[in-house]
Structure formats: structure tokens, C-alpha cells
């Protein structure tokens, strides 16, 4: 029991409630279906256990399942780590560089952000993932990324088992009229015959599991490449958007400065080691971070404060140039938009050509912001908030009054 508790750390039994959510239920259901069907198909109809290859194959299937579930539950139950309630920097003067969270009654540590779902400030927050019903951040970033790697690899192995099972079992039952085609299927012949025949129900179940395995390979594989890309830059999804807005601010005001991301260690290997360690425990304490030469602990938080004070980059105004139905994964907006749909419970905003949107953050192919329901763009009017495809909108010039005010700010700088 002690060994089990050391593997998966529960803050308390309330953490088990995370399983009672549509995300974990679907994720664990897919894992169970693909793993179980792969083992059944392999043992009964494709690669029996009494052969060396069959035994090795079965052990590999069990190994995939155990590693996938281990990293999945680690990501879910260990969690990202939270800023201590009431936290403030040791040097009181440093608080001027930090934002204050009214909910947590604490200053937001560098790289931390408040999550409305978790209702806490999350250390090195990347995003809130509905599939683990928790945030991805400082403590569980490595486990979450390993899960995203292992799940597609395990599904590729399972998909191979499904395809070969159907091929070997149906080869002698289906005629395609290819009388001249000769294929050596001696390896597929089972002697003795399987105890349970490969019937219609087995075929339907195998075909269904194959669809799940292929869909998971594509969808989760795309998420893995997105995560590993930002890890090699030692960034989070939120920080990549902050960097994009910083460059936009500098370009607009024509400032004589270059934004340098402070946590990029200068090499991909050093950035990689900030997340993945041999001990499994990430470097640092989540409150203070190593920074590159010429930067300091609060370089990024100072940039955030500048953006918060800047009316123009706080939210970028876009005009809708193409209708969008509000679908989670729209097929008609391009394959990259389809496969990079944000993995979040936050809603999508239906758009109609000619409407206006205020974007506050975003990804490469998606933006997040508010659709204003009336014609005025005054703070406090009714809004609909959510995600929308980036290729449905274009940046639009400010209205005359706002543009004049911004030009005045620009001259003052």
C-alpha cells in the first residue's frame, strides 16, 4: 500500500472526484476498449500465446497499457501545483512587478496564471485539460506529455493487431474475384483452430476499436507535437501568446527594443531538461526560475503589466470575414485548424461575416476572445466569450476615436 501511495499522490480522497467527469470517462473508455480488444484479438485469432512472438507481443500490449495509465493518472492526480494561498515575494518591493489575484488573495508568481476551473493560481500554467480534468502545469507537464506520446504509440501497435486479425481471419471467407492473385497465407493458418470463431460480433468490435485507435493516434499525436514544440522553447501555450503580443506591441509603437523570452535557456536540450528529469521531479520550486543572461525573474511579468496597461494589445480587434458555425473541429476550415482544435471545455463562438471580435489570447490556428453583441465597443457591454478559427477573421484598424487616442500614447512613448 505504501508503494502505491508513493506512485500516485492524492492530496485527499476528494481528488477521486476528478474521475467523475466526461473527459476522464471517455479517455479511460478508449484506453480500455483498445487495450482489451488488442489482447483478445491477438490471443484468440492472430498471435497465440504458445508462440514466442505471441508472448512478446502480449507483454508489449500490457506494457503499453500500464505506462499509458501510469502517466495519465500521474498527470491527473499529482496535478500542476498551485501558488500557496496568500503567497507574496520575499522582497516586498518585488510585488510591484506582479499581478494580485483577488480570488487566491495572493500575488501571481512568475509564469503562474489563475484557472477558473480549478479556482486557483496554477504554477507554470499551460492549459486546463478536460481529458484529465485538471490543469497542465509545473508538476505534471512531463507526465502529461509522456501520456500524449505513449497513447499514439500504443494505439499504432493495437491498430496493427486489429488490421492483421481482420485480414487473416477474413482472407479465406471473402472473394474479390482476383483469381490470378496468389498470396502466401501459411503464417495465418491456426492449428488447432481458435476456440472461439471470428464471427460478426468480433468483426464489428474489432472494426470499432480500429477506428478509435486511428482517431486517437491522429488527434493525440497532434497534441504531442504541439506540446513538445513549446517544451523545446521552454514555453507554455499562454506564454507563446504573451510573446506574440509583445512583438506586436513593439512593432506598433516602433520601440527601440527587442523582446527576449527570459526562460529560453539557449538550447533545446537545456529547455528539455527543465521539464524532463531522471528523477521525474521537475527542476526548481515552481516559484523561481532560471533565466537567460540579460533577463531577470520578472522580465515576463513586467511585459504582462505593459500589455495590461496598453489598450491596444490587451485585446486585438478582428473583423469576421468568413462564417463559422461554432463546431468544435470544423472540417471546412482547413486540416490544420481541424487537428489543432483547443483541448479545452471553453466554448466556441459562432461567427457571421461582418461581426467584430476582441481577441485576448490565442494559438497558431485559433483565437480566444469576446464577440460584442451591440455596436458599441465600450467596456462592460454584453459579450459572448470563446474560441474561433484564426482564418475566419482579420485584424481591423481601430475606429477614429480609439486610433487618435492610441496615436497620442504612441507619441508620448
Q: Give the C-alpha separation, 132 to 76, whole Å.
A: 5
With 50 as the cut, is the pLDDT of residue 248 above it?
A: yes
Sequence-distant (6+) residues with CB within 8 A of 342 are 127, 363, 366, 368, 387
**Is 162 within 8 Å of 213 (Cβ atoms)?**
yes
Average pLDDT, the chain: 83
**Is 131 within 8 Å of 24 (Cβ atoms)?**
yes
**pLDDT band for position 177 (50/70/90)?**
very low
Per-residue pLDDT tens for 283-305?
A: 888 999 999 988 888 999 988 88
Residue ranges matching CATH 2.30.30.40 in the chain = 315-411
CA–chain centroid gap for 168, Å, is 37
Interval 196-210 mean pLDDT: 89
Per-residue pLDDT tens for 2-39?
A: 444 544 444 556 678 889 889 999 999 999 999 999 99
Per-residue pLDDT tens for 213-228?
A: 999 999 999 999 999 9
**pLDDT band for position 408 (50/70/90)?**
low
Quick one: pLDDT at residue 32?
97
With 80 as the cut, is the pLDDT of residue 57 above it?
A: yes
**Residue with more model confidence, 331 or 61:** 61
Using CA atoms, how far residue 102 sits from 80, 85, 86, 300, 335, in Å, is 20, 11, 10, 21, 41
The number of beta carbons lying within 10 Å of the beta carbon of residue 193 is 8
Q: Which residues are catalytic?
A: 129
Quick one: pLDDT at residue 183?
46
**Residue with more model confidence, 340 or 98:** 98
Ranges assigned E (strand) in 203-355: 316-320
**Is 367 within 8 Å of 315 (Cβ atoms)?**
no
Half-sphere exposure of 331 toward its Cβ, with a 13 Å CA cutoff? 0
**pLDDT band for position 185 (50/70/90)?**
very low
Quick one: pLDDT at residue 376?
46
**pLDDT band for position 279 (50/70/90)?**
confident
Assigned C-alpha cell, 120: 486557483
Using CA atoms, how far residue 197 sits from 45, 111, 168, 237, in Å, is 8, 57, 13, 50
Name the CATH superfamily housing domain 315-411: SH3 Domains (2.30.30.40)
Amino acid at each position: 500500500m505504501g508503494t502505491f501511495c508513493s506512485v500516485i499522490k492524492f492530496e485527499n480522497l476528494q481528488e477521486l472526484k476528478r474521475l467523475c467527469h466526461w473527459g476522464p470517462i471517455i479517455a479511460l473508455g478508449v484506453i480500455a476498449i483498445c487495450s482489451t480488444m488488442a489482447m483478445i484479438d491477438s490471443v484468440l485469432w492472430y498471435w497465440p500465446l504458445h508462440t514466442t512472438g505471441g508472448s512478446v507481443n502480449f507483454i508489449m500490449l500490457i506494457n503499453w497499457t500500464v505506462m499509458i495509465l501510469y502517466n495519465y493518472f500521474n498527470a491527473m492526480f499529482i496535478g500542476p501545483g498551485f501558488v500557496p494561498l496568500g503567497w507574496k515575494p520575499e522582497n516586498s518591493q518585488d510585488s510591484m512587478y506582479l499581478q494580485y489575484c483577488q480570488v487566491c488573495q495572493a500575488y501571481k508568481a512568475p509564469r503562474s496564471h489563475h484557472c477558473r476551473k480549478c479556482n486557483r493560481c496554477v504554477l507554470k500554467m499551460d492549459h486546463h485539460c478536460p481529458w484529465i480534468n485538471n490543469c497542465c502545469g509545473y508538476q505534471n507537464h512531463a507526465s502529461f506529455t509522456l501520456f500524449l506520446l505513449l497513447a499514439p504509440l500504443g494505439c499504432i501497435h493495437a491498430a496493427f493487431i486489429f488490421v492483421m486479425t481482420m485480414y487473416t481471419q477474413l482472407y479465406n471467407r471473402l472473394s474479390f474475384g482476383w483469381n490470378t492473385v496468389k498470396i502466401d497465407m501459411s503464417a495465418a493458418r491456426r492449428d488447432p483452430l481458435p476456440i472461439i470463431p471470428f464471427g460478426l460480433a468480433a468483426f464489428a468490435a474489432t472494426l470499432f476499436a480500429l477506428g478509435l485507435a486511428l482517431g486517437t493516434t491522429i488527434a493525440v499525436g497532434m497534441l504531442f507535437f504541439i506540446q513538445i514544440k513549446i517544451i523545446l522553447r521552454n514555453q507554455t501555450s499562454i506564454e507563446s501568446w504573451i510573446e506574440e503580443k509583445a512583438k506586436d506591441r513593439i512593432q506598433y509603437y516602433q520601440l527601440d527594443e527587442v523582446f527576449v523570452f527570459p526562460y529560453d535557456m539557449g538550447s533545446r536540450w537545456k529547455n528539455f531538461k527543465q521539464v524532463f528529469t531522471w528523477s521525474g521531479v521537475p527542476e526548481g520550486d515552481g516559484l523561481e526560475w532560471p533565466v537567460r543572461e540579460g533577463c531577470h525573474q520578472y522580465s515576463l511579468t513586467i511585459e504582462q503589466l505593459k500589455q495590461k496597461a496598453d489598450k491596444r494589445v490587451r485585446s486585438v480587434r478582428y473583423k469576421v470575414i468568413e462564417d463559422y458555425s461554432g463546431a468544435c473541429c470544423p472540417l471546412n476550415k482547413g486540416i490544420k485548424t481541424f487537428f489543432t482544435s483547443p483541448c479545452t471545455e471553453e466554448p466556441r463562438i459562432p461567427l457571421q461575416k461582418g461581426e467584430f471580435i476582441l481577441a485576448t489570447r490565442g494559438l497558431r490556428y485559433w483565437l480566444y476572445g469576446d464577440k460584442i453583441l451591440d455596436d458599441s465597443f465600450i467596456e462592460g457591454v454584453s459579450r459572448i466569450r470563446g474560441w474561433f478559427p484564426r482564418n475566419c477573421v482579420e485584424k481591423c484598424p481601430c475606429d477614429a476615436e480609439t486610433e487618435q487616442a492610441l496615436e497620442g500614447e504612441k507619441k508620448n512613448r
